[in-house]
Structure 1
């Protein structure tokens, strides 16, 4: 994540700021400029091309600070949400802002890396063909399974609750579980569906991750019945990645985003003096030359505060090959 500053008073800003706490200027995030910009008292911002942008109508609903193309309309990120909790679902609405915040973070990262993000097609009634959409559902009202299907990512809003998420994390013996992590993992399924096409890419993907045609339901049942295979640590990032080639790809993709975003943030805040991740010819060099020493230092900083490791994972050689493949899909 980039470091932002107020264009009026040069005060440091956080990504979610809607007002500068120093000078009181109203703010909005311009996706086209990848910047936080000042908004007038009329809720408008005029960019360098003369286009007029407006505060997203969802600012007071879930804290969206992005700019919309039409007055009273919603921004690009909010347009991607196909389903949200009803106004009567008070628990769902309480958990809703954290999910939207993670989604906005995800879109900025994908924009930074150059991966195309297109939304739903209104002409088809809102069901995307190759576009991306999100169903942010409340498990208070129904059973919700986090997943991806044909461009629609489903997120359980209960995962926004720290206590609930920690319970699930302990139950599944996971070293890491966050709302942003869910978004990163599920969008990995989407981009495998979109980008791994043609015999050459499909062949290489199968070499690294396995045959995606393996029966998924059988793989789930086997995984929860038997657990991961012995010695999984030498070839996988997590036990969940061992379940099926689809899950191995999505886990690898999520870690590609974890690493890329954290390295960029560390560079923006002066913790590492490196070029953008996209400037490296090999993601292997990013991992071995930058990420490994940086993550060790960050883990030790966390331990100094009595906290768990920031990045509780080991990256074996075969996973470096997988990470390189995922990074190579960038347009």
Structure 2
């Protein structure tokens, strides 16, 4: 995620800011320009202008009061919802007080996902020509649904169990599932990966290339998942898969790889934005920042920066008594899969943007 600056006082602004903490100016996220911009109110208390884009009249998303959404919409926008909030099919039951806080956590993670998709120029809105409804999200609890809610994906609809937004419950689940990493943002990125298998692999007609790397997705999915939970990952999985769960089925391998591609790309943008790079003299993997990773064509340059940076960050976390920042081993095979995802994203961007 980029570091932004207040156009009034040049103070750093972060993605979730609604005000500049230095000069108290109101700020919001402009989705068309992918920037946090400084605002000034008009006589109409809900309408804003900005010196950055003086020709536009803006207002906050209709979900600002409920979940603190800081994304902006055109003042003439009909329903008043931003591009991210428009994707919500089902929101949590707000009669439960804790669900407001949970929804805030979910929306914060979802917005980081949508930011990445917009930077990569990947499609996520519905397309009537292809009868693709695009990405949609539903946030459910078992109590409201009357059944156990499983986080998952089906034809563009991503379901998130809102208990995942409860840090204690998520931590207990991570321990029970023996996972080294489990976050709300990770769920969004993984489940979205399933959607982009349809758009980038199936619809691009490159199944043979996919199968050469990930395996045949025609293998019975239900049987494969049941076998994984019954027997665990295959021996020596680290040499071929980015995580244990990626062993379960080629679709899960793809989704895990896609999620990790977003992890790496967005983390590298953060490092680039702050001017971070590894300078340890003894590191034979030291790389120099290549600029905005969302614009980088050569995946090898990204990895040359990522590997030493992630090692350094892991050791920084350990110095503070925390778990590793990035607790994954990237084998040659995993890097090949990540590069495959990178090339598909670049192809889409070049052909359809």
TM-score above 0.5 = yes
* Displacement of 1:55: 1.0
Cα distance between partner residues in 2 of 1:44 and 1:231: 58
Cα distance between partner residues in 1 of 2:188 and 2:272: 23
Q: Does the 8 Å CA contact 1:263/1:291 hold for their aligned counterparts?
A: yes
2:179 is matched with 174
Cα distance between partner residues in 1 of 2:153 and 2:313: 32
Residue 110 of structure 2, aligned match among 95, 103, 127:
103
* Displacement of 1:313: 0.5
Change in Cα spacing, 1:43 to 1:22, as seen in structure 2 (3 Å) is farther
Aligned partner of residue 206 in structure 2, secondary structure: helix
Residue 76 of structure 1, aligned match among 60, 66, 83:
83
Cα distance between partner residues in 2 of 1:105 and 1:173: 26
> What TM-score do you get using the length of structure 1 for normalisation?
0.93
Residue 317 of structure 2, aligned match among 278, 297, 302:
302
* Displacement of 1:113: 2.1
Q: Does the 8 Å CA contact 1:79/1:119 hold for their aligned counterparts?
A: no
> What TM-score do you get using the length of structure 2 for normalisation?
0.87
* Displacement of 1:49: 7.6
Change in Cα spacing, 1:87 to 1:238, as seen in structure 2 (3 Å) is same
1:17 is matched with 17
* Displacement of 1:17: 0.8
Aligned partner of residue 263 in structure 1, secondary structure: helix
Change in Cα spacing, 1:101 to 1:257, as seen in structure 2 (3 Å) is same
Give the aligned length.
325
Tell which deviates more after alignment, 72-81 or 242-251: 72-81
Cα distance between partner residues in 2 of 1:226 and 1:20: 52
Q: How does 1:281-320 map to 2 (within 5 A)?
A: 281-287=297-303, 289-320=304-335
Residue 183 of structure 1, aligned match among 188, 198, 206:
188
1:328 is matched with 343
Cα distance between partner residues in 2 of 1:129 and 1:196: 15
Change in Cα spacing, 1:216 to 1:21, as seen in structure 2 (3 Å) is same
Q: How does 1:1-331 map to 2 (within 5 A)?
A: 1-41=1-41, 42-46=45-49, 48=53, 50-69=55-74, 70=77, 73-119=80-126, 129-142=132-145, 143-197=148-202, 201-272=206-277, 273-287=289-303, 289-330=304-345, 331=348
What's the C-alpha RMSD, in Å, of the aligned pairs?
Answer: 2.0
Q: Does the 8 Å CA contact 1:38/1:45 hold for their aligned counterparts?
A: no
* Displacement of 1:265: 0.3
Aligned partner of residue 141 in structure 1, secondary structure: helix
Cα distance between partner residues in 2 of 1:262 and 1:179: 16
Cα distance between partner residues in 1 of 2:38 and 2:79: 18
